[in-house]
């Protein structure tokens, strides 16, 4: 019976009763009475094993072990529950009534689907479906008539006529709104607001704002920056209150002011800026000029700089602290920059240097060149006389095309060149003698060379020792790995690689000896008389057309003897057996262990296993 009651309550909830059904059932201190064996119309009183639903104070009563007996009356479709504080009546699915007394007293009444009423603790609800809804509480009152609603409370209200009009105000929070979709939207708060009326918008956030009437007008402020755009792109205005800057744009002209000056321009031809610290003037393509202030490490004024450029004349002038520059294109230049100097009169005279390091250079191309410094002195007269001196270290003197001489001023080290053939040098680390392009000899601490072109070539250093007497003799030797090659062309060839344990010797064309120590192989050929090939397990020897082959396979020795192409015989790699063949298999016999094979007209016939 209790299971049926729960199913009935869940079915009522699915039809939208709107509140939970409550009943209180608990175990009585007395043992439950056995229900009388009477008709179902009789009213009974029992202690429920579990409540139908709990909420609010009813849940607290259950936790405090408050479990009054419940009396039920069931005459389908009528259902009734009564306890000390709760009365529930239902006629499924049309009628519902619930009454609670005592703490949190309340009443609920429903006639489905047309009417619903609820009362309790200062709240009330009335529903006349589907025309009118009414809610009352100590904090607010709400009425809903079809699509119109009105909600009012102590400091404000909400009103709506969906979907045409929505209004509201909250005095405690300082907010309000007015909405007439889709034409008008207004939301306001204590420090911000938003308004959209057609294409006009206005947004405020504290002292910042943005407004516009697209595409005609845009304006706004963010922190200390303001902007105004009217009929874009015809007029623009920007302002920065921190930097005291204002800019106006009326294309192609623009003008404005800064903290200490003003500027004006017509893009891209004109620009003028006048300021306390700097000036710029631009008139394309005729003139560009500027003025600026130098500041020291403490930010204080330390001088003034100026520059002037005349692009169509390729000329310029710059002057500042420690700087003076002026010139005309590639023809004339004058520069003094913190001790670096340049005087250029192209193509006649070039002079440059550094006053701090006492370096000076003068050049009259291609006739004269002179360079002086505390450590160097160089002089060149045309392309004939050269005198380059690295003071206290080295000097080079040349009178071309007669001779060139270079010598060290600190040790016995000199070099003489008598063009175009002789070149002689001597020093503690290297000596050389050259007769271009035939003879080259040189010797150093770790290497030497000698060339008598095109016959003799000899090079030796700590890694290699190579000699070529072209074209008969070639020798290459690796002094580190001891690898070497010798060739007496074309009769003798020798290649030795100790790292790989390989060696090749050829006495062309009569003798060939190939050895591979790692694989235990060696082959010797004296064509056409003799050849021998040997490995760790096999050896083959041939003299003219006699061939002997012997060795070992898996511990079994074998040997064969051949008189090519007539006859061959031997012992196969097996403990017992025999082998013979005539004319390369025209007729033959082979027995190897239990395997036997007979050949007739080169066709094999197998016997045994």
What are 182-201's pLDDT values in tens digits?
999 999 999 999 999 999 99
Say if residue 11's pLDDT is above 60. no
Domain layout of the chain by residue ranges: 1-122, 339-373, 375-437, 490-536, 545-609
State mean pLDDT over 499-510. 90
Task: Give me the percent of the chain exceeding a pLDDT of 90.
Answer: 53
DSSP 199: T
Q: 375-437 maps to which CATH number? A: 2.20.220
Say if residue 327's pLDDT is above 80. yes
Say if residue 23's pLDDT is above 90. no
Give the tens place of pLDDT for each residue, 58-94: 666 666 666 778 899 999 999 999 988 889 999 988 9
pLDDT band at 14 (very low <50, low <70, confident <90, very high): very low
Give the tens place of pLDDT for each residue, 136-147: 999 999 999 989
303 vs 608 pLDDT, higher one: 303
Q: What angle do CA 199, 200, 206 make, to 5 degrees?
A: 140
pLDDT band at 303 (very low <50, low <70, confident <90, very high): confident
Place of tokens 């009213």: 43
Mean pLDDT, rounded, of the chain: 85
DSSP 381: E
Residue 9 host element (H or E): helix 2-14
607 vs 193 pLDDT, higher one: 193
DSSP 4: H
- Residue 306 CB contacts under 8 Å (≥ 6 apart), including other chains: 289, 290, 291, 317, 318, 319, 320
pTM for the full predicted model: 0.48
8 Å CB contact between 454 and 469: no
Closest CA to 225 of 241, 247, 203: 241
Query: Does residue 42 sit in helix, strand or coil?
Result: coil
| pLDDT for residue 293 | 86
Give the tens place of pLDDT for each residue, 370-410: 999 999 999 999 889 999 999 888 999 999 889 999 999 88
How far, in Å, CA of 568 to CA of 580, rounded? 6
Say if residue 7's pLDDT is above 60. no
Distances (CA, A) of 330 to 149, 168, 333: 87, 79, 8
State mean pLDDT over 517-526. 88
Say if residue 20's pLDDT is above 60. no
State mean pLDDT over 560-571. 85
Closest CA to 529 of 505, 517, 547: 547
| pLDDT for residue 58 | 65
Q: Which two tokens stand for residue 293?
A: 């202030």
pLDDT band at 48 (very low <50, low <70, confident <90, very high): very low
């Amino acid at each position: 019976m209790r299971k049926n009651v729960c199913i009935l309550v869940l079915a009522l909830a699915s039809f939208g009763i709107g509140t939970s059904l409550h009943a209180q059932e608990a175990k009585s201190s007395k043992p439950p009475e056995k229900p009388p064996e009477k008709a179902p119309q009789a009213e009974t009183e029992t202690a429920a094993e579990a409540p139908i639903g709990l909420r609010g104070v009813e849940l607290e009563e259950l936790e405090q072990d408050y479990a009054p007996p419940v009396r039920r009356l069931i005459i389908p479709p009528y259902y009734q529950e009564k306890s000390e504080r709760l009365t529930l009546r239902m006629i499924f699915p049309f009628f519902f009534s619930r009454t609670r007394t005592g703490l949190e007293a309340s009443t609920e009444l429903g006639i489905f689907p047309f009417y619903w009423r609820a009362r309790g603790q200062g709240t009330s609800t009335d529903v006349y479906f589907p025309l009118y809804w009414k809610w009352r509480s100590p904090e607010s009152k709400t009425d809903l008539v079809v699509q119109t609603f009105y909600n009012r409370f102590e400091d404000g209200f909400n009103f709506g006529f969906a979907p045409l009009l929505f209004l509201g105000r909250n005095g405690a929070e300082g907010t309000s709104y007015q909405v007439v979709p889709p034409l008008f939207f207004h939301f306001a708060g204590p420090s911000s607001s938003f308004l959209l009326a057609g294409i006009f918008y206005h947004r405020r956030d504290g002292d910042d704002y943005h407004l516009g009437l697209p595409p005609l007008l845009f304006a706004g402020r963010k922190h200390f920056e303001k902007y105004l755009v009217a009929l874009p792109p015809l007029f623009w205005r920007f302002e920065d209150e921190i930097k005291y800057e204002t800019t106006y744009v009326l294309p192609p002209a623009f003008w404005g002011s800064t903290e200490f000056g003003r500027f004006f321009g017509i893009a891209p031809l004109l620009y003028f800026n006048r300021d306390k610290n700097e000036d710029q003037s631009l008139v394309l393509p005729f003139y560009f000029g500027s003025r600026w202030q130098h500041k020291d490490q403490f930010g204080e004024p330390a001088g003034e700089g100026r520059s002037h450029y005349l692009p169509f004349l390729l000329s310029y002038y710059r002057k500042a602290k420690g700087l003076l520059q002026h010139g005309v294109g590639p023809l004339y230049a004058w520069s003094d920059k913190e001790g670096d100097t340049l005087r250029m009169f192209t193509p006649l005279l070039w002079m440059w240097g550094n006053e701090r390091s006492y370096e000076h250079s003068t050049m009259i191309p291609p006739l004269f060149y002179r360079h002086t410094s505390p450590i160097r002195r160089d002089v060149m007269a045309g392309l004939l006389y050269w005198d380059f001196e690295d003071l206290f270290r080295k000097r080079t003197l040349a009178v071309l095309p007669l001779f060139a001489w270079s010598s060290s001023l600190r040790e016995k080290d000199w070099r003489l060149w008598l063009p175009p053939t002789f070149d002689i040098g001597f020093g503690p680390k290297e000596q050389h003698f050259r007769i271009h392009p035939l003879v080259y000899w040189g010797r150093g601490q770790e290497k030497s060379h000698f060339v008598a072109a095109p016959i003799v070539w000899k090079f030796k250093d700590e890694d290699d020792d190579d000699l070529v007497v072209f074209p008969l003799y070639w020798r290459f030797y690796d002094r580190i790995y001891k690898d070497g090659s010798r060739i007496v062309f074309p009769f003798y060839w020798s290649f030795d690689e100790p790292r790989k344990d390989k060696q090749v010797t050829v006495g062309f064309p009569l003798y060939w000896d190939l050895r591979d120590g790692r694989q235990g192989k060696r082959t010797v050929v004296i064509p056409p008389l003799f050849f021998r090939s040997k490995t760790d397990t096999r050896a083959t020897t041939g003299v003219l057309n006699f061939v002997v082959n012997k060795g070992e396979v898996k511990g079994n020795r074998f040997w064969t003897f051949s008189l090519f192409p007539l006859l061959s015989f031997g012992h196969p790699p097996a403990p017992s057996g025999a082998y013979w063949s005539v004319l390369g298999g025209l007729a033959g016999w082979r027995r190897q262990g239990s395997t036997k094979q007979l050949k007739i007209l080169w066709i094999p016939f197998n016997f045994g296993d």
